[in-house]
Chains A and B, each alone.
Chain A
Amino acid sequence: MRITYVAISLVAALLLPFGQAAGQAQKSDTHEHDSAAIVRNADGTITYGGEYRFVPPPSPWELIPGNESSRFVFGFYRKDPGKVQLESTFFAYDEEPYGYSLNIEDRSREFLKRFFWDSFVKVTVLEKKKVSVLGAEGLALTLEGKDPVAGQKVRSKVIFGKRGARVVAFYIRQWRLIDNNYDLSAFETFDRFVASLRFVHKSFYEEL
């Protein structure tokens, strides 16, 4: 019986022919939402894509819908004062952050291997602490990256939490010319957004 069980337990196998390992970009899990599916509620919150409810940041923050190639479900962008387009702030909710582990600590290490990997900045973790997020314990990392050659720097905060079994993340990135100051009030706006986000219903993975 045991042998029979093993034989029937393997219901399917996936085979994945793929191109050169290092040469092809990977598609993230689908983050497509109809950008028109934004409902403004009487209490000042927004329901996005029928799935996420949160307090939006005030103007001039602009809602950026995610798509199948983006690394976020949705986010908010703001051009900051400054002479160059670089000086801006973006924060987002990411349902499939880099990495794969279901453990937050492990996932944060995997995430850091690839976050900013195409930006040529040397990233330092300024602070790492446990936080309460999405109704449970999460992990917050404050980061700074510098590119002295290009004369740029970036300050970032990443908050990892759980949605069901899976790890999700919120992140903010603020770019500046290397001699300019950060605007830390944007990080307070980010924290308020994170604290306000609720899921309207269970995720695809929780309902699977």
Chain B
Amino acid sequence: MEGHQRNLYLYERFNARVAGVSRDDVTTLKYWADDLGLTFPLLSNVSGWLGIIFDVLPGNQPVFDRRTVIIDKNGIVRYVRDGSPDYKDILLFLKKLNSGEITP
């Protein structure tokens, strides 16, 4: 998450916004965001329905799997990567998406 905070000025350049989604409650996320100094939205989804939508809800576990999803301005999912975010890969993808190099 700190890596995304570091890259906010670059996301701005590429007309992208970032949000995190977790099953933690709001109080936990607020504490965590304050501690790390995160300024982008963290969404609390305790019930986990967003995990079903993004296919990151492992059975019998109270947490989401890690996944990075990029959604374009038309609401189309354009990028999905599992595991810890590859920040440079994300930035390169956003640059191409913003410049129109990647089209549906």
Contacts and interface: CB of A to CB of B under 8 A. Distances in A.
A19 B97 contact: no
Contacts, number: 138
B87 A21 contact: no
A130 to B, nearest CB: 23
B22 A19 contact: yes
A16 interface: yes
Interface residues of B, number: 56
A59 interface: no
B18 A16 contact: yes
Given A16-B21, A17-B56, A17-B66, A8 B37 contact: no
A84 interface: no
A16 B19 contact: yes
The secondary-structure label for the interface of chain A is: loop
A26 B10 contact: no
Interface of B: 1-6, 8-11, 14-24, 28-29, 32, 37, 42, 50-51, 54, 56, 62-73, 78, 83-88, 90-92, 94-95, 97-98
Interface of A: 7-24, 26-30, 96, 98-100, 102, 110, 165-166, 204-205, 208
Given A14-B18, A19-B22, A208-B92, 19 more contacts: A11-B16, A12-B16, A12-B17, A12-B71, A12-B94, A13-B16, A14-B71, A15-B68, A15-B71, A16-B20, A17-B20, A17-B21, A19-B66, A21-B24, A22-B28, A26-B84, A27-B84, A30-B86, A98-B2
8 contacts: A11-B97, A17-B67, A18-B20, A18-B66, A19-B64, A24-B63, A27-B3, A29-B87
